[in-house]
């Protein structure tokens, strides 16, 4: 009976050691993720002007996946391509359009009506052909 108790105690100790090791690993991973997130934020604050940072923050609330992709692109450009210029809101919006696959849209407002510039040009060409 004493052997059974010692085996049980050994199994308990082994399980406890595994739990402690797993908890330590989880804590280290969490600390690493926080450090990476902090470094990302520092780089973004350094290379985005205030309007771009504000736009990206708003985008993060609306569309987190798109914002995350934009952050990755900006960080790639800074880290691996050596771009040292400050990105403006227009740059961030351009990257957003590329990520979403949107075509450029120019709107024309005339007599209270808003139309797409492409449609406006097509209409002008049609009238010119007639």
pLDDT level of residue 103 (50, 70, 90 thresholds): confident
Instruction: Read off the pLDDT of residues 7-63 as tens digits, 9 standing for 90 and up.
Output: 888 999 999 999 999 999 999 999 999 998 899 899 889 999 999 999 999 999 999
What residue numbers bound the domain in which 1 lies?
1-41
Please check whether residue 2 lies inside any domain of the structure. Answer: yes
Structurally, how many domains does the chain consist of? 1
Please check whether residue 111 lies inside any domain of the structure. Answer: no
Contact 9, 40 (CB under 8 A): no
Please check whether residue 76 lies inside any domain of the structure. Answer: no
């Amino acid at each position: 009976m004493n052997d059974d108790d010692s085996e049980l105690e050994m199994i308990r100790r082994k399980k406890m050691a595994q739990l402690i090791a797993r908890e330590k690993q989880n804590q280290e991973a969490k600390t690493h993720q926080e450090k990476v997130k902090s470094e990302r934020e520092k780089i973004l604050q350094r290379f985005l002007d205030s309007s771009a940072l504000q736009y990206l923050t708003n985008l993060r609330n609306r569309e987190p996946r798109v914002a995350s992709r934009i952050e990755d692109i900006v960080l790639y450009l800074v880290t691996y391509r050596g771009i040292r210029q400050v990105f403006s809101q227009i740059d961030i919006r351009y990257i957003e359009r590329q990520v979403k696959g949107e075509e450029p849209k120019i709107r024309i407002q005339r007599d209270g009506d808003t139309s797409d510039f492409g449609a406006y040009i097509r209409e002008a060409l049609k009238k010119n052909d007639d």
